[in-house]
Amino acid sequence: MPALTRAEKLEILADAAKYDASCASSGSIKRSSLGTGGIGSTTGMGICHSYAPDGRCISLLKILMTNYCMFDCLYCINRLSSNVRRAAFTPQQIVDLTLDFYKRNYIEGLFLSSGIIRSPDYTMERIVEVARLLREEHKFGGYIHLKTIPEADPDLLTNAGKYADRLSINIELPSDESITRLAPEKSGPHIRKTMGTLGQRISDAKAERKSSRKAPLFAPGGHSTQMIIGADESDDARVLTTSTRLYKGVGLKRVYYSAFSPIPDPSAQLPPVAPPLVREHRLYQADWLLRFYGFGVDEIMTGAKRDAAGKRHLDLAIDPKLAWALQNREHFPVDLNRADKSILLRVPGLGVNGALAIIKARRFGTLRLADIETLCRNVSKMLPFIITRDWTPGPRLDDANLYAKLAPKPKQLELFAT
């Protein structure tokens, strides 16, 4: 079998990395300029975008070190028993790629993950070596995100934190039972314990930096995780409960939700079809409510629906905050000229920036509906739930058809849409 060229390896390992959602976005349609004579593509992979702490959108080379793997996680296309084409880069080859791409102004950083070869320690050593070579030998100042291996030696994870801006460990699935069944070489309690150790190390480093600016950095971007949605029977209530425990228990910066993608030669334990992508979108919206809007899981799930198996899932037709508001109409209407921030954030269609803009503007006078239309984008969704100086919803809030009036209108599917 002929040796793979660098371009062939890059094609295989960049494609294999697309399943990691930690710095990806969904919602775009597949579109390619191949054969049209145009430019641009949304089907390629290898370079993704992420956001720096200061809000800048940065481009990252997103690849696996190798897609060989000694683990046999049933949901993973790179599992031991998978028949995919395999490839591997050495640490030096990844360093060369990163520098070549950076010098051409293609990227501003690196997102590196890997299948597990020989042992978790051996693989983690090679991942850390990439970051070490970039930082120490080439003085690379770009962004580095390393996917770490919870089964590896804690000292190796500590070394990774010295060089990386952000670290992440995949929790994989919402429940320990599902991890045991679908990823038998992994352990939910062990993953969370490693996350906890990492979170404590990050917290300690921040405290040391407050005492002395000379204290070394340790993963200043924090740590994150990814959870696969739809590969097991867990409902959205279970998913959000797991996320809440991770945010509070191990200090995670972010949980990413990745809708399960059917893989070739799948196990009979996996669902035959992928969950709707909108489920992933609703979970991100609910996650936002948990982190920035003061909602609890129980509150969010009051707007949920039960499926035929009795599982509680977020309403796919409307966003979670609107679903909650429709089920809790006794809390409305909200007087935008008097309510505090925590109450304003409960109004459907009103985000954090809008709430802050209203609080700032009402210092100078009582707000009218026209003022709200100037300050906020989605006023039509807010109308049944708010009071201003010249607006009250009247009987709108008690309208039995309010759900249908506020839900997005269905769109005719395109027969030949791609």
pTM beyond 0.85: yes
Instruction: Supply the DSSP symbol for 398.
Output: G
Q: What is the mean pLDDT of residues 292-298?
A: 96
Q: What pLDDT does residue 37 have?
A: 55
Q: With cut-offs at 50, 70 and 90, classify the pLDDT of residue 171.
A: very high
In this structure, the number of other CB atoms found within 10 A of the CB of residue 245 comes to 13
Q: With cut-offs at 50, 70 and 90, classify the pLDDT of residue 42.
A: very low
User: 88-120, pLDDT tens digit by residue?
Assistant: 999 999 999 999 999 998 888 999 999 999 999
Q: Poorest-confidence range of 33-37, 121-125, 211-215, 259-263?
A: 33-37
Residue 338, pLDDT above cutoff 60? yes
Cβ proximity of 33 and 39 under 8 Å: yes
Q: What pLDDT does residue 408 have?
A: 85
Q: What pLDDT does residue 214 have?
A: 87
Q: What pLDDT does residue 46 have?
A: 66
User: The tokens of 255 are what?
Assistant: 């949980």
Q: Which of 113, 102, 107, 99 is nearest to 146 (CA)?
A: 113
Q: Poorest-confidence range of 19-28, 69-78, 195-204, 245-254?
A: 19-28
Distance CA 157, CA 165 (A): 13
Report the relative pairing of strands 386-387 and 334-335 from DSSP bridges.
parallel
Q: What is the mean pLDDT of residues 283-302?
A: 96
Q: Which of 253, 232, 247, 115 is nearest to 173 (CA)?
A: 232
* Continuous segment of H or E residues that includes residue 205: helix 188-211
User: The tokens of 127 are what?
Assistant: 């991942």
* Contacts of residue 60, Cβ cutoff 8 Å, sequence gap at least 6: 23, 47, 48, 49, 50, 107, 108, 109, 110, 111, 143, 145
Cβ proximity of 133 and 84 under 8 Å: no
Residue 261, pLDDT above cutoff 80? yes
pLDDT, averaged across the chain = 89
Q: What pLDDT does residue 418 have?
A: 46
Sheet bearing 143-147, strands edge to edge: 47-51, 57-64, 109-113, 143-147, 166-168, 223-229, 254-259
Distance CA 229, CA 42 (A): 23
